[in-house]
Amino acid sequence: MTAKPESLANLFDRTFAGMGEAREAFTPQLTPREVGTITSIATGIAKVSGLPGVGFEELVQFPGGLLGVAFNVDEAEIGVVLLGDYWHLQTGDQVTRTGRVMDVIVGDALLGRVIDPLGRPLDGQGPVPASEHRPIERTAPPIMDRAPVTVPLQTGLKVIDALIPVGRGQRELILGDRQTGKTSIAIDTILNQRDKNVVCIYCAIGQRTSAVAKAVATLREKGAMDYTVLVVTEGNDPPGLTYIAPYAATSIAEYFMEHGRDVLIVYDDLTHHARAYRELSLLLRRPPGREAFPGDIFYIHARLLERATHLREELGGGSLTALPIIETEAQNMSAYIPTNLISITDGQIYLSPSLFELGVLPAVDVGKSVSRVGGKAQRAAYRAVAGDLKLAYAQFEELETFARFGARLDEDTRKIIDHGRRIRACLKQAEGAPVSVPAQIAVLLALTADLFAPVALERMAEAEQAVKTAAAMIPADVRARFESADKLSDADRAAILEIARQALVSFQAKPEPEARP
């Protein structure tokens, strides 16, 4: 028998009965959401009321997807630092909490990219794949997680590698007046890390667009973008973006460090960072102190630079080397921000405008520069050839001052001055031309052995180039010892000196013919 089809009326009754049961069993899930209101807007900041549960440094969202960071958390209202274009905001607009702090994209996908502190691409190559996010503010590694700084970070600059060595995990400040070559030293150091398994992060803080474009073009031309990430804020960006830039760049660097990589980060420069923070603090009505900076200006840089370290082997053995840049005014190293950073870092490289005007490039003032890690982060081969160089150079600079008065000099003083002039000539170096370790050691060893003494000063550049070219003939086993902790033996020194001596044969100054009676 065939079953009779169910009547349409019965079908409707059964369907509606089931819907009624489901409706009665449904329990709505209500999610409370705090919504505030903008009470006032100023340059780069906004005052917001109606968010009683907001936390310090929590992200809040404005209309149009604009983000801000809660900086002042008062009982009646909060002061928010805006992280983008805020011209469309108006008093009365709604503000919502996000429940999270500011974070940034990290990962290998960032290598070769130019981004802003929010992770947005600036190089026209499309969005960056977001594999992982990390908060920009992180606690520095505790003291028991750190290892001593013992491995050098070669900058490729003879004057720094020989006299002011920088180690992996060190914080070395670069300071000097404007237009003295601070950025050039940092860029040259990045260029020298090619094929050395070092990841580089270049953080441009409030820089001119032309300066950023020049740095990107140089890195691309020299093939350095393969291992470099650029985090950029420009001069016309809101001060909030400028303020968070170095923290975001450091979180990106820490990702690589915690995966066992050696990382170099350049902050160019922290003068703009301090001024952006001062601007925000004054707009938020925080009490000003010396030079109108807020009372915690030291702390914002200390908590940033303390994140640079060398981790123990149990934690991967990675390192984060920081090269913060600061600009002085009228050679005043004792100003507020420079003295703060000098006290935080492990040494400083001071660039002198006087040397720059004389054409001594890089214009490093060896007397005012220091590395507090020193020879501990220098290879034994370097210590052997550069040990007496700094003292000889310091003696020369002091005696050169007296020689300008036209005083009669004895033979020993004349020799010291003559040797010092050759040291200065050898320490000169063109921009964008890093020197390899074997070439540096060959030149420095020839210098300490007085092989350049017969060479005329005007031919020093040619003579030095000849020695650097001849350094390729140094035996492979000797070159291997340059990169190890082994000291140079007497046989090694003799072999290098013989190669340098042969290279300098054609540069011997010819004796002048005796005058006829």
- Known catalytic residues? 372
Cβ atoms of 136 and 104 within 8 Å: the answer is yes
Cβ atoms of 475 and 442 within 8 Å: the answer is no
Per-residue tokens: 328 = 């002085």
Write the burial class of residue 395 (CB in 10 Å: 0-12 exposed, 13-18 middle, 19+ buried): middle
DSSP annotation of 127: P
Q: How many CB atoms lie within 10 A of CB 117?
A: 27
Tally the C-alpha atoms within 13 A of residue 321's C-alpha that lie toward its C-beta: 30
How do strand 45-49 and strand 35-42 relate by DSSP bridges?
antiparallel
Q: Could you give the 3-state DSSP secondary structure of residue 67?
A: strand
| Residue 38 host element (H or E) | strand 35-42
How do strand 347-351 and strand 173-176 relate by DSSP bridges?
parallel
Cβ atoms of 171 and 308 within 8 Å: the answer is yes
Tally the C-alpha atoms within 13 A of residue 164's C-alpha that lie toward its C-beta: 24
DSSP annotation of 35: E
Taking every pair of Cα atoms in the chain, the longest distance, rounded to a whole number of angstroms, is 148
Residues 389 and 253: their CA atoms lie apart, in Å, by: 35
